[in-house]
A = this chain, B = another copy of it.
Amino acid sequence: MKKNIIVTKADFVLDEEIKKLYVDNAGAVVSFVGLVREQASHGKVIAIELEYYPAMTQKALEGIVEQAEQRWPLLGVIVIHRVGYLTVQEQIVLVAVASQHRHAAFAAAEFIMDYLKTQAPFWKKEYIAGQSEGIWVEAKDSDNQALAKWLKN
């Protein structure tokens, strides 16, 4: 299986990444791109800063992708997660999955995102318009609920 798992400050170009997954038998490529959203509950977001745990983050992402491979017949997976300072509308994360058929590709991409959101050591700080100090983002219950649905199956 083609696999590419990267934690980096650099931006990515979707086409370049996705095309690595255009292998002979791939019929379906599902990709997820997470963006810096402007709107937060406490104001207008100017930028975010992403902290991570270098020694652990890569391992955690690899472990998540391995779990996805065990569940679905995948032909390729790309995970690129950016760290550092990112402004509104910048790309934060790419998860792309290739499979013969679409169901596996959709399910695996969503599975990887749900695990990443709750298991991979990244922490996000938001810089809000008019506030000098950044605010650490709180973990969301909805992310734990999203994870729980995979534990049932």
Min CB distance A19 to B, Å, is 9
The A contact surface, by secondary structure, is mixed
Interface residue count on the A side (C-beta < 8 Å):
34
Min CB distance A46 to B, Å, is 12
Q: A22-B89, A102-B113 are in contact. Are A32 and B29 (CB under 8 A)?
A: yes
List the 4 closest pairs (A to B, CB-CB), nearest first: A27-B37, A24-B38, A29-B33, A15-B15
15 extra A-B contacts, CB within 8 A, seeds A14-B14, A24-B89, A106-B113:
A24-B37, A25-B39, A26-B35, A26-B89, A27-B34, A27-B35, A28-B32, A28-B34, A28-B35, A31-B31, A32-B105, A32-B106, A37-B100, A103-B142, A103-B146
